[in-house]
Each structure stands twice: as structure tokens, then as C-alpha cells.
């Protein structure tokens, strides 16, 4: 019987047990209340006999004549409510013994019973919390009984408080579900309840919970979590799912379902039903919302002695969360299965995030520059600055891997963006004697930087510090980022344009932008996403689509840039559709500052002749065809 059920009303146990006896048993077979346990420690056997005689009627008394035996007895049996000890004993004195109890059995109430004591030592021990009461030896029996009863009352109060706190700590107040701190205990309980059976663990992520929190408030988000928890609880009780000993947890904004399961196929089948049943419209805070979710599955293999998840259940929880994140990032399925590769990706992602948020990260990044070539005029018109990361331990990390991670954290994105802007501007200024004044420097701006609201001020401050003329800078922002908060984006870009900075809309065609908004943005360059260029391949429909985009750009007084040009053979085709500028590996791969200067001095003229030859050949073919 647990302490909580033994003493449901610690302040009036006698009344409680009297009531229980009348209700549970006939008068001839009354249940006896267990006596509180008291441990008496003294090297004088006569004193021990006297203590046992005085306390024996009301308490279950154990006696030992030294501290070592007291510790052994406490470790071997249930805890004592009260410990009474002499001060002067061989090997370990009474204060040291009560200090041990304070550490190893913090609810036990300690009473020092001695006739020879240093009052300063006693006061220090009382102030440190090791001693509850000090009694002079000898004392009246009534005084001893009062002290022990008061100590027992204190023990009961502290035990009840500790149990309530433990319950509050381990239980989520919103849903009433156990939380992450109870997870390990419940895994152990399930393993004990069905030895030899593995456990299935499913982590369920509620879609758009952050969006609901930002737009409708914390109350709406909490309501959505409660609705999801109730639906999962109803599934747990459904006998058709055959879930043995299921337990539902709340893990932050996610829910985790744990049950005994030996078949991974059956776990996947159950999870598929759960996810399907979780797709429903609900009303939260007077708003009709669509409840949907993704899930990740991991197993806790208790059969294998080498199973990491069995040794550390939190590993399985991390595995299921990683599988859930994998499902969220995938467009193929709403359910992810944990795999070693997915776990490795998550560990690498965490490591990259840690390194990105360290300011020393900037010591290991550098800029490369990719040329943009103007077809009409056959000349270099712009250089796009691209950041590269060469970590001393991890090696080369591609921009596709680390740039999105950097943009997740506003401080990191701003720090990296400021570094790129500053170094790109300084490099363009250093090339004044190498490049003509028409060649601009293009710098990418992330949506995270745009959301800060002070992008224009940071860019203008950078131009002022470096001395680069504003007309030699072009900021590039994706259409989705520009449209996301149109008012804020428009105000910042307008401020840059007023000061002469060029603005380019990057990756055009892959977002869900509004043309009415796009026409209002103060951009003078439209960069067509590489997917349109790769999809040409002589397809008339793709050519017509690209031709339409170019016409749209020209109608808005924009220069149209084709990104991702991989072959010079496509240059005449692109020029025929109306593209003004081309960029890609066929024009030039990203180069270091030194290599770019060499390319411009030694190779650009030959490249210009190649472009001119293609244009002439295209003109002859066109004239012959007409």
C-alpha cells in the first residue's frame, strides 16, 4: 500500500481510520491502524529500554546502539517517521547521523536526545535543518511523547506535500496527462507488466499549432491541444485497435502514445487510423479550425540486451520525435518511421545549429561570386555574392543545408546577413580598378532579415561605412518573402530605392504571390527561378510560359534574369523569349574574389566572343526560317 493511500488525511488519521473501519469491516473484525515507526539510537542500552517502554504504546519502536546499524536498518526496511538519537556515540555522533537522514530520507524527523551537548553545535545543526527538536536527557515521558508526536505530524505533512508536488510536477495541468518527466517511469512499468514484450511509441504533432498560437492566441492553441488529446484518448479505448496498456503523454506541443506492441506493422496500421481520425474540423475559442497531424513511430525493444532504447527510454522518445519531424518535412506521408539515417540527420542538424549560433562561426565563412551576363550588350552586368562555409571539423557545408537553418534564428540570420553585406560591399569597392562601373554587387536578403523592420537602415549604414556607391548594390529577396508582410517589405525596399539601391525579386515563379502586390514592389530586376529554365528542353508550352514571364517583367519595367543556365546552347533560346540577363554554371561557377578577377581579366573576352557567335548563328537560323 502506498504512502498516499495509507495516509489520505494526514492531519486527522485517527478519525479517518475510525471511519474506514466502520465502513469496511464488522465490529468483530476491525482493521488496526499501523503504528508510526520510530527509530531510537543510543549506546546506553538502559536508555534504549526506557525509550521503548515510553513510546511502545503509541509507536512501532526499533532500537539500535550505534549509528552504523541505524543506517543499515533504514536502508533495509521502510523509512522511519521519527529518529531519536543520542549525541555522543562511537564512530559517528548523533548530528552526523541526522545529517545522513536529512540527505537520504528527507521526510524523516530528527530528534536529538542528550544530556551533554555544545549548545552552539546544536544551534548550527538546527539552523541547517538536520534537527527538528532537542531534548535534554533525562526528560519527562510526557515531554518525550509530545516531541515524537509533533515530529510524526511534521513527517505526515511533509510527506503529503511532497507527494502532491511530485504529482503536480509529473502531470500536465492543461490536459491532465503525464508529461516527459513521467515517461521513463511509465516505460519501466509497462516493461514490468508485460515482460518480453516490446513497446510502440508514437509522437503526434498537431499541424499549424504555432500559427494558431500567433494568430488566435495561447488559449486557442491550448484548446486545440486539448481537442487532440481527447480524440486520442477515445482511440485508446477503442477495442478494435488492440492496444495493450496504452498511455498518453503531453510532450510540449506534441502528444506521445505508448503501448505494448510486438508488431511494427500493426503499430503502423494503428497510427494510420489515428492520423486519419485526427483529421477533423473542431471549434476552438469560437473559431472553426481544421485539426490534422503528423506522426513519428519508434520502438522500445526490451528483448535485446543491446537495445539502446531499452536502456535509455528517452532515446526512443527522441527517435520518435525525429521520425515525426521527418514526416512533417516530407510531402509523401504523414507518418515517419525512425531510421538511423533520419536520426543522423537530426543529430547533424542540431550540431549545425549549435555551431551557427556561435559568433565564431563567421571566422569560417567566405564569399564566392557568380557572374550575371547581359545578352544585349554582351557584357558582365552583376555579381551575386554567395556565402560558403568550410568548418574546420565538419568540412564543407553546402548553403542549401546551413542557410535555411541560419534563417530560423533571427539573431543568427541578422549576424550572417550583416557580415555578407559588409564583405560584399568592401569587395566590390576593392574591384573599382578592375570592373567597370556598370557591374553591380548582388546580395541576398532573407525573410528573417526583412521581418526585423530595420533592414534599410542596416544596408544604408553599411554603404556609409564602406563607401560603396548605392547604385553598385543590388539586394535580392524572394517573392514569397517580399509578399509575406507586404507593407513592411514595401516600406523598407522603397527606402532603399530612394537612396539608389537596386532591388531584385529572386526565385520568381515558385511562390504563391499576388501580381497586384508584385507590381507595387519597387523592384527593377526579376530573376526567373531555375526550374523554368531546366524545363525548357524544346517544350513549346514551357517556352510560351517563359515568354509570358519575360513580357510580364518588361511590362513592369524590370530587367529579366534567367537563373540556372547550365548550357550555352540554351542562350539563344532564352534570348528569343525575352530574357535580358543569364546566370548559371554555363556563364560561370561561383568563384573566389581572386579567381573572379582573373576570369574577368583573362577569359571574359573569349566568353563574350562565344556568346556573340551563338547570337549570330541564331540570327542566321531565324532569317533563313523566315
Task: Tell me the pLDDT band of 260, cut-offs 50, 70 and 90.
Answer: confident
Per the CB < 8 A criterion, the answer to whether 38 and 60 are in contact is yes
DSSP per-residue letters across 77-128:
SPPPSEEEE-S--SSS-HHHHHHHHHHHSTTSEEEEEESS--HHHHHHHHHT
Higher-confidence residue: 33 or 94? 94
Task: Tell me the pLDDT band of 579, cut-offs 50, 70 and 90.
Answer: very high
How far apart, in whole angstroms, are the C-alpha atoms of residue 447 and residue 452? Answer: 9
Q: Grid cell 510527506 — which residue?
A: 159
Per the CB < 8 A criterion, the answer to whether 202 and 320 are in contact is yes
Q: Can you give the pLDDT at residue 21?
A: 36
Whether residue 12 has pLDDT greater than 70: no
Query: How many Cβ atoms from other residues are within 10 Å of residue 341's Cβ?
Result: 9
Which of 3.20.20.450, 3.40.1190.20, 3.30.230.10, 3.50.50.60 would CATH assign to domain 358-625? 3.20.20.450
Share of the chain above pLDDT 70, in %: 86
Query: How far is residue 405 from each of residues 11, 80, 150, 366, 409, measured CA to CA in Å?
Result: 56, 55, 60, 17, 8
- The CA R_g of the chain, rounded to the nearest whole Å, is 38
Q: Can you give the pLDDT at residue 2?
A: 38
Query: How far is residue 459 from each of residues 157, 419, 420, 462, 464, measured CA to CA in Å?
Result: 64, 11, 11, 5, 9
User: In this predicted structure, which of 94-103, 116-125, 312-321 has the lowest mean pLDDT?
Assistant: 116-125
Q: Can you give the pLDDT at residue 22?
A: 37
Whether residue 435 has pLDDT greater than 90: yes
Q: Can you give the pLDDT at residue 265?
A: 86
Q: Which three cell numbers stand for residue 22?
A: 466502520
Q: Supply the CATH classification number for the domain 35-169.
A: 3.40.50.2300
Query: How far is residue 617 from each of residues 470, 569, 583, 614, 624, measured CA to CA in Å?
Result: 38, 11, 21, 5, 11
Whether residue 29 has pLDDT greater than 80: no
Task: Tell me the pLDDT band of 511, cut-offs 50, 70 and 90.
Answer: low
Q: Grid cell 510536477 — which residue?
A: 169
Q: What value does the mean pLDDT of the chain take?
A: 84
Per the CB < 8 A criterion, the answer to whether 395 and 438 are in contact is no
Which of 2.60.40.10, 3.40.91.50, 3.30.70.270, 3.30.450.70 would CATH assign to domain 180-338? 3.30.70.270
Q: What is the mean pLDDT of residues 268-275?
A: 91
Q: What is the mean pLDDT of residues 605-619?
A: 85
How far apart, in whole angstroms, are the C-alpha atoms of residue 461 and residue 86? Answer: 77
Q: Can you give the pLDDT at residue 593?
A: 95
The DSSP H or E segment spanning 369 is strand 365-374
Task: Tell me the pLDDT band of 30, cut-offs 50, 70 and 90.
Answer: very low
Query: How far is residue 544 from each of residues 35, 508, 535, 538, measured CA to CA in Å?
Result: 93, 16, 12, 11
Sheet of strand 244-251, all strands in order from the earlier edge strand to the far edge: 244-251, 254-260, 199-206, 293-300, 335-337
Q: Can you give the pLDDT at residue 125?
A: 67
The pTM for the full model equals 0.56
Whether residue 144 has pLDDT greater than 90: yes
Higher-confidence residue: 80 or 4? 80
Q: What is the mean pLDDT of residues 9-22?
A: 38
Local structure of 536: helix, strand or coil: coil
Q: Which of 284, 278, 171, 283 is nearest to 219 (CA)?
A: 284
Q: Tell me: cis bond preceding 118? Omega within 30 of 0 counts.
A: no
Q: Which three cell numbers stand for residue 351?
A: 550540431
Domain residue limits, the chain: 35-169, 180-338, 358-625
Phi-psi region of 558 (alpha: psi -120 to 50; beta: other; left: phi over 0): beta
Whether residue 167 has pLDDT greater than 60: no
Q: Which of 18-22, 85-89, 193-197 has the highest mean predicted lDDT (pLDDT)?
A: 85-89
Q: Can you give the pLDDT at residue 128?
A: 62
DSSP per-residue letters across 464-524:
HHHT--GGGEEEEEEHHHHHHTHHHHHHHHHHHHHTT-EEEEEEETSS---HHHHHHS--S
Whether residue 505 has pLDDT greater than 70: yes
Task: Tell me the pLDDT band of 615, cut-offs 50, 70 and 90.
Answer: confident
Q: Contacts by 11-18 with C-beta closer than 8 Å and gap 24+?
A: 11/153, 11/156, 11/157, 13/156
Residue 428 neighbours by CB under 8 Å, 6+ apart: 383, 435, 441, 468, 472, 473
Per the CB < 8 A criterion, the answer to whether 586 and 565 are in contact is yes
Residue 356 neighbours by CB under 8 Å, 6+ apart: 402, 405, 406, 409, 412, 416
User: Where would I find the H helices in 556-592?
Assistant: 571-577
Q: Which of 68-77, 320-329, 521-530 has the highest mean predicted lDDT (pLDDT)?
A: 521-530
Tens-digit pLDDT profile for residues 360-404: 899 999 999 999 999 999 999 999 999 999 999 999 999 999 998
Q: Which residues of 494-527 are buried (b: 16+ CB within 10 A; e: fewer)?
A: ebbbeeebbbbbbbbbebebeeeebeebbbebbb
Amino acid at each position: 500500500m502506498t504512502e498516499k493511500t495509507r495516509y489520505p488525511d494526514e492531519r486527522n488519521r485517527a478519525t479517518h481510520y475510525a471511519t474506514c473501519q466502520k465502513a469496511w469491516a464488522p465490529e468483530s473484525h476491525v482493521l488496526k491502524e499501523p503504528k508510526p515507526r520510530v527509530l531510537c539510537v543510543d549506546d546506553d542500552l538502559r536508555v534504549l529500554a526506557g525509550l521503548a517502554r515510553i513510546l511502545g504504546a503509541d509507536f512501532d519502536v526499533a532500537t539500535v546502539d550505534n549509528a552504523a546499524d541505524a543506517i543499515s536498518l533504514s536502508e533495509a526496511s521502510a523509512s522511519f517517521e521519527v529518529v531519536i538519537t543520542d549525541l555522543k556515540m562511537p564512530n559517528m555522533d548523533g548530528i552526523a547521523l541526522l545529517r545522513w537522514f536529512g540527505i537520504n530520507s528527507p521526510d524523516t524527523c530528527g530528534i536529538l536526545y542528550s544530556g551533554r551537548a555544545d549548545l552552539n553545535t546544536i544551534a548550527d545543526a538546527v539552523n541547517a535543518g538536520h534537527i527538528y527538536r532537542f531534548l535534554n536527557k533525562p526528560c519527562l515521558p510526557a515531554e518525550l511523547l509530545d516531541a515524537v508526536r509533533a515530529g510524526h505530524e511534521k513527517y505526515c505533512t511533509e510527506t503529503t506535500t511532497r507527494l502532491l508536488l511530485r504529482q503536480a510536477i509529473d502531470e500536465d495541468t492543461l490536459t491532465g496527462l503525464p508529461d516527459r518527466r513521467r515517461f521513463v517511469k511509465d516505460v519501466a512499468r509497462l516493461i514490468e507488466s508485460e515482460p518480453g514484450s516490446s513497446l510502440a511509441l508514437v509522437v503526434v504533432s498537431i499541424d499549424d499549432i504555432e500559427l494558431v498560437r500567433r494568430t488566435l492566441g495561447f488559449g486557442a492553441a491550448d484548446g486545440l491541444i486539448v481537442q487532440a488529446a481527447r480524440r486520442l484518448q477515445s482511440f485508446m479505448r477503442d477495442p478494435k485497435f488492440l492496444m495493450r496498456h496504452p498511455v498518453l503523454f503531453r510532450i510540449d506541443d506534441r502528444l506521445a502514445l505508448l503501448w505494448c506492441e510486438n508488431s511494427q506493422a500493426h503499430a503502423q496500421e494503428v497510427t494510420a487510423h489515428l492520423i486519419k481520425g485526427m483529421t477533423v474540423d473542431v471549434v476552438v475559442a469560437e473559431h472553426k479550425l481544421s485539426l490534422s497531424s503528423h506522426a513519428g513511430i519508434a520502438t522500445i525493444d526490451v528483448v535485446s540486451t543491446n537495445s539502446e532504447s531499452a536502456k535509455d527510454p528517452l532515446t526512443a522518445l527522441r527517435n520518435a520525435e525525429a521520425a515525426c519531424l521527418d514526416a512533417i518535412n516530407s510531402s509523401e506521408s504523414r507518418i515517419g518511421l525512425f531510421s538511423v539515417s533520419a536520426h543522423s540527420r537530426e543529430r547533424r542538424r542540431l550540431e549545425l545549429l549549435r555551431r551557427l549560433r556561435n559568433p565564431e562561426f563567421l571566422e569560417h565563412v567566405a564569399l564566392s561570386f557568380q557572374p550575371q551576363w547581359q545578352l544585349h550588350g554582351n557584357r558582365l552586368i552583376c555579381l551575386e555574392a554567395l556565402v560558403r562555409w568550410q568548418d574546420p571539423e565538419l568540412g564543407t557545408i553546402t548553403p542549401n543545408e546551413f542557410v535555411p537553418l541560419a534563417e530560423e534564428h533571427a539573431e543568427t540570420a541578422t549576424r550572417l546577413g550583416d557580415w555578407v553585406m559588409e564583405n560584399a560591399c568592401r569587395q566590390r569597392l576593392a574591384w573599382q580598378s578592375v570592373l567597370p562601373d556598370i557591374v553591380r554587387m548582388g546580395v541576398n536578403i532573407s525573410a528573417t532579415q526583412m521581418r526585423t523592420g530595420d533592414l534599410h537602415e542596416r544596408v544604408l549604414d553599411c554603404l556609409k561605412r564602406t563607401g560603396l556607391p548605392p547604385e553598385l548594390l543590388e539586394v535580392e529577396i524572394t517573392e514569397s518573402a517580399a509578399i509575406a508582410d507586404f507593407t513592411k517589405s514595401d516600406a523598407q525596399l522603397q527606402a532603399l530605392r530612394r537612396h539608389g539601391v537596386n532591388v531584385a525579386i529572386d526565385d520568381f515563379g515558385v511562390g504563391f504571390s499576388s501580381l497586384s502586390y508584385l507590381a507595387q514592389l519597387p523592384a527593377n530586376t526579376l530573376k526567373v527561378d531555375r526550374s523554368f529554365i531546366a524545363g525548357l528542353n524544346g517544350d513549346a508550352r514551357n517556352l510560351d510560359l517563359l515568354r509570358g514571364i519575360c513580357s510580364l517583367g518588361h511590362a513592369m519595367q524590370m530587367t529579366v534574369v534567367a537563373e540556372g543556365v547550365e548550357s550555352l546552347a540554351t542562350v539563344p533560346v532564352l534570348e528569343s523569349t525575352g530574357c535580358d540577363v543569364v546566370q548559371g554554371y554555363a556563364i560561370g561557377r561561383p568563384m573566389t574574389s581572386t579567381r573572379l578577377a582573373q576570369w574577368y581579366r583573362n577569359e571574359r573576352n573569349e566568353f563574350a566572343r562565344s556568346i556573340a557567335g551563338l547570337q549570330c548563328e541564331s540570327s542566321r537560323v531565324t532569317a533563313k526560317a523566315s
